[in-house]
Amino acid sequence: MTFNHESTTDEVLDGLDLSGRRFVITGAASGLGEESTRALAAHGASIVMLARDPAKNDEAAARVRAAVPDADLSLDTVDLADLASIRSFAGRYLDGGQSIDVLINNAGVMACPFGHTADGFEMQFGTNHLGHFELTRLLEPAVVAGDRPRIVNLTSSAHGISDVDLEDPNFEHTDYDAWISYGRSKSANALHALALSRRLAGDGVLAYSVHPGVIMTNLGRHLNDDLMQQMMDRSKERAAKTGQPEGFQFKSAEQGAATQVWAATSADVVEHSGTYCADCGLGVEGGNVGGNGFEPYITDASRADELWALSERLLDS
């Protein structure tokens, strides 16, 4: 069945029985993570809800259980801006002996003021990419042990703002720009999925990057009038250069989370591991980046390998 930008989580999951399948979702305490949890649980999936704030995670789980009384949920705490937190959770999870059928790297921070993670990395690159890179790296044995395993990384149309910067990932030598930083981190998320699709293919693991669309969630908590204007100005500049439509088409949470649950469950993407997905379909290279299009640099396998090597150096140093 063909879906589009208006499709919802319930529509793309219609008719699927996910009983016995185990999903681990970061950023599950609100927004797209919570909606993905609700929709997948409604179809029988077991969900491990990960969030930085235990109290907010409890509240989200209560909302999910109100909507899905028999939801199979377990909760744990992970701060993706703190390697110690990531490593602590991964150790607990692996010690429990549970496999993972689908890992959805959903959490993130957007356009925040300049700052650093607990380990000294620039906040957006450190949280959005390095945090998920380390979590995925540590959970790899559980994913490989899963049934028809998949990994889904949330990226964004904002990858079109900037490719990754392998020379100065932490803005140590260049002036910080909140949107450029976000764009770099989202390109990194896509390149990470591409690298995973190649490195884990022999283990039967599929990997995808997903642009959810533009949704009003807690992700936008740092946005002010100046940052919003910068976003609109970038959209105008892109439209003038490419002839692509200007502006943004907003989605509901149910529409925004649809592409990630589609990538996590659909048979239509099995032959397309490593692909950028948007609007519940495969992305289009060179298409409208504000919609389902993507820039070619996120499909550069050598770039993905270079980012992988840099990430390992940073995390292991």
Per-position b or e across 89-122, b if 16+ CB within 10 A of its CB:
bbeebeeeeeebbbbbbbbbbbbbeeeebebebb
Domains contained in the chain, CATH given: 9-316 (3.40.50.720)
Q: How far apart are CA 47 and CA 248, in angstroms?
A: 31
Helices (H) and strands (E) counted in the chain, each on its own, are 11, 12
Q: Which residues contact 197 (CB under 8 A, 6 or more apart)?
A: 205, 206, 207, 208, 273, 274
* Active site amino acids: 176
Residue 240 pLDDT: 58
Q: How far apart are CA 181 and CA 112, in angstroms?
A: 9
Residue 231 pLDDT: 62
Residue 317 pLDDT: 86
Q: How far apart are CA 272 and CA 197, in angstroms?
A: 9
Residue 288 pLDDT: 82
Residue-level pLDDT, tens digit, the chain, 317 residues: 789 999 999 999 999 999 999 999 999 999 999 999 999 999 999 999 999 999 999 999 999 999 999 999 999 999 999 999 999 999 999 999 999 999 999 999 998 999 999 999 999 999 999 999 999 999 999 999 999 999 999 999 999 999 999 999 999 999 999 999 999 999 999 999 999 999 999 999 999 999 998 886 565 565 566 766 656 666 556 655 555 565 567 899 999 999 999 999 999 999 999 999 999 999 999 888 878 999 999 999 999 999 999 999 999 98
